[in-house]
Amino acid sequence: MGRTATGIDVGSRTAIVLRGHPKGNTFAVTSFWAGPTSTGSVRECWSAVRPAFRLGGACVGLSGRGLNVRYTQVPRLKDWQLENLMRFEVGEIGGQSGSEMASDFNVLPELPEVEGEDVVLLAMAREELLAEHADGLAAAGGRLLAFTPNAVALYNAWLHYGVVEEDTVLVANIGHENVDVAIARGTDLLFARTLSGGSRLFDEAIAERFGISSERAEAAKAELASLDPSALHAGGNREKAARAVQGPAGQLLALLQSAILFCKTQIKLSGLSVERVALCGGGAALDGLDRFLEASLKVPVEVFEPFRVVDQTALSPAEAELLHEYGLESVAALGLATGASRDEAYKVEILPRRVARMREFWGKTALLVAAAVLCLAYLGYSAWKLAGDLETTRGEVTRLSSTFDRARTADLEARALLEENGKLAELVSELWLAAGSGEQIARTLEVFERELPRDFWLSEVSSRYASTEQRDRSDRRPVLHIEGLVREGTESPSALFEAFLARLAAELGNAHIVPGLSPAGDRFTIDMSLLVAEPRAGDDVGGEG
């Protein structure tokens, strides 16, 4: 069942805080805040995060430097074996980089192209980066649930609020510094990764072309620049801005193409073909970017706007207006809140080592300690209670011992009588079976000699013991097994066989007959018993010959 959670995406230009809970097949946003940040350190960016509402449990997004996502193909292992393998790989990577690494992993949905193996998504982040984010979250009044790569959050947002079909879709969240990419085939995640290079490429190009600051270039980009191949640029500045963003647009195109190629290489899907692209993030607002990419990639490109299907009725008018303004930048935060609040969401949850150890203590060690205390308390109570019952029990033991001795003597005598009776019963049964078997063979062969069709003859006759219940050996009866052949070319062997069975049943009365005729009509079998009171389906024919 879903729970309320907060998704926080703190970038170098904008910070987004979105809080809500699942509501049926969608999501209800109950609180929202967005605001600009500085381009300084993570701590400086967090200093601008001051929403008016209580954050509660929060899932914080990770992107860019300090985050490393890898894909590994491994044989299908048990959970503890896979965990040990990933721990070894993280330790090896951390040793090479000289940094303490925190990590988490999850197995991708089973890929038909990769037989007998699993593809594991392993996400690692520097402990120093996590510490900066954790300190900023604590200063803002939040409680850490986990850190999650923004690319994984993007997949969760697409899976729950996108137009999901059976095709392969590349979803790109174009931020200022980075591009988070998720590739999904139907509902299955194939690839999630963060690429360096975002909308700042457009700002830098315009700043250089016009000789202005990056802040003014960002405003000029929104006002003047367009990548629409069919756009008519009225005025020199518009044409100048349009030319300036052509180069960065090519770089962005190359980033997306490299993501597709990297996906093919990492998970070994050489025949993978992306059939649709969905854009979000602040960079997706650039006029004509979707049409430029569509013309270059030769596939449909659309803007991903999940908030069209998200419930916003709980927001104040000011929050709703702010969400409308920052809708494209808020997709990752929505995915983070969705992943934290839905148990069935695809999860990659990185925790700082200190937090992981603390949760392991309270989740396992503290529970074991509490269980031990309760166990000792129960043992103490039991000892006190049992001491009071001991004297009563001793008196009962003396009385019951006398009764037991008398019962044991009677039991020994009864067992001796039962053993003797069993031997006699077994002897009677064997004699009855032998007599019955002989009589059965004689009567049956007499009827066969008289009634068997002319072109039918017997090839094998055997008598076996069968029981109606395999566990009840005393219920054994002699069963006659007959095999025969039919002369080649005999007309209507099935009709002849059916007529013969009818005469056989009439001659032998209440006999239990199980016939069989081969499809070609050249062989037949009959299992029958004259010593069954009435036919019983499922008799087990086997045993002694």
CATH number of the domain bearing residue 273? 3.30.420.40
Same domain, 103 and 225: no
Most confident of 408-417, 427-436, 475-484: 408-417
Q: Which residues pair with 34 in a beta bridge?
A: 16
- Indicate which CATH number applies to the domain containing 526: 3.30.70
| Three-state DSSP class for residue 18 | strand
Helix segments in 106-179, DSSP class H: 127-139, 150-161
pLDDT tens sequence across 130-149: 999 999 999 999 999 999 99
Q: What is the percent of the chain with per-residue pLDDT over 70, rounded to a whole number?
A: 91
- Residue 505 covered by a domain: yes
- Residue 359 covered by a domain: no
Length of the chain: 545
Confidence (pLDDT) at 539: 45
Confidence (pLDDT) at 94: 73
Residue 43 and residue 129: Cα distance in Å, rounded? Answer: 10
Mean pLDDT value across the chain: 87
Same domain, 289 and 197: yes
- Residue 374 covered by a domain: no
Same domain, 337 and 283: no
Same domain, 106 and 170: no
Same domain, 173 and 201: yes
- Cα distances from 228 to residues 26, 54, 238, 249, in angstroms, run 33, 42, 12, 11
Confidence (pLDDT) at 363: 57
User: Average pLDDT, stretch 440-469?
Assistant: 84
Same domain, 138 and 269: no
- Residue 422 covered by a domain: no
**pLDDT level of residue 512 (50, 70, 90 thresholds):** confident
Most confident of 219-223, 336-340, 448-452, 497-501: 336-340
**pLDDT level of residue 365 (50, 70, 90 thresholds):** low
- Residue 430 covered by a domain: no
Structural domain total, the chain: 3
User: Average pLDDT, stretch 113-127?
Assistant: 90
Confidence (pLDDT) at 124: 94
**Which range among 82-96, 276-290, 360-374, 425-439 shows the weakest confidence by mean pLDDT?**
360-374
- Cα distances from 205 to residues 251, 255, 483, in angstroms, run 12, 17, 94
CB 468 within 8 A of CB 475: yes
Same domain, 315 and 176: no
Confidence (pLDDT) at 541: 40
**2: pLDDT strictly greater than 80:** no
**266, 282, 303: which is the final residue of a domain?**
303
**449: pLDDT strictly greater than 90:** no
Q: Which domain holds residue 511?
A: 438-541
- Residue 415 covered by a domain: no
Residue 23 and residue 35: Cα distance in Å, rounded? Answer: 26
- Residue 424 covered by a domain: no
Q: Strand 26-36 relative to strand 14-23: parallel, antiparallel, unpaired?
A: antiparallel
Same domain, 210 and 195: yes
Same domain, 171 and 140: no
If one compares 315 and 357, the residue with the highest pLDDT of the two is 315
The C-alpha torsion from 236 through 241 and 247 to 251, rounded to 10°, is -160
Confidence (pLDDT) at 425: 78
If one compares 300 and 441, the residue with the highest pLDDT of the two is 300
Same domain, 80 and 106: yes
**303, 318, 340: which is the final residue of a domain?**
303
- Residue 229 covered by a domain: yes
Same domain, 481 and 445: yes
Same domain, 25 and 8: yes
Residue 509 and residue 525: Cα distance in Å, rounded? Answer: 19
Residue 35 and residue 97: Cα distance in Å, rounded? Answer: 34
User: Average pLDDT, stretch 14-42?
Assistant: 92
Confidence (pLDDT) at 232: 66
